[in-house]
Amino acid sequence: MSLLNVAVWAPNHGVREPWRFILYKGDAKAELAEAMLEALSAAEREQYGGGKLDYFNHIPLHLLVIMKEDPRPRQWEEDYAAVCCWIQNFQLAAWEEGIGVVWKTNAFIYDPRFRSRTGVAAGEKIVGLLHIGYPDQIPDPRPRTDAVHYLTVHDTRSPH
């Protein structure tokens, strides 16, 4: 809970706090896995279903991060940005405690069957499904391009 509360310091315009969360742990992880399976075709269920169930059960916690969708475009974007900031705050705060968080946007989070099974209402957007746990392995960081390549600096007035 304290990690959730660190993350709520994310900048959010108007302090609208446009988020809500559903945490799955213990036996309830099976509920989430069933919702995920429902969003697969019969063939996919046949091919990957078992593996996906094991995967969901192996991970200690799953957190669905949900945004209330404001019908006004500016507010919608601000709120989406705020929820993304919430997620990264959460990831960074968790990592300080040695807890790994993967942010997933699998196809099933957009599926009406998954949304309905997880109780996500019309007018709400799933921004991510976070898989949370102490990592068995820590992957090497993938290299990033030096930001200077993307930087334009203006330090004198350009002639008109």
Site residues, ligand FMN (CB under 6 A) = 102-106, 141-142
Strands 19-24 and 124-133: unpaired
Q: How far is the CB of 126 from ligand FMN (least distance, A)?
A: 11
Q: CB of 67 within 8 A of CB of 120?
A: no
Q: How far is the CB of 82 from ligand FMN (least distance, A)?
A: 14
End-to-end CA distance of the chain: 56
Nearer CB in complex with ligand FMN: 37/109: 109
Residue 102, classed as helix, strand or coil, is: strand
Q: CB of 80 within 8 A of CB of 127?
A: yes
Nearer CB in complex with ligand FMN: 27/146: 146
Q: How far is the CB of 108 from ligand FMN (least distance, A)?
A: 10
Nearer CB in complex with ligand FMN: 51/159: 51
Nearer CB in complex with ligand FMN: 115/153: 115
Q: How far is the CB of 109 from ligand FMN (least distance, A)?
A: 9
Long-range contacts formed by 115-123: CB under 8 A, 24+ apart: 117/31, 117/34, 117/35, 117/38, 118/22, 118/32, 118/35, 118/64, 119/22, 120/64, 120/66, 123/68, 123/69
Q: How many CB atoms lie within 10 A of CB 52?
A: 18
Q: How far is the CB of 107 from ligand FMN (least distance, A)?
A: 9
Nearer CB in complex with ligand FMN: 3/87: 87
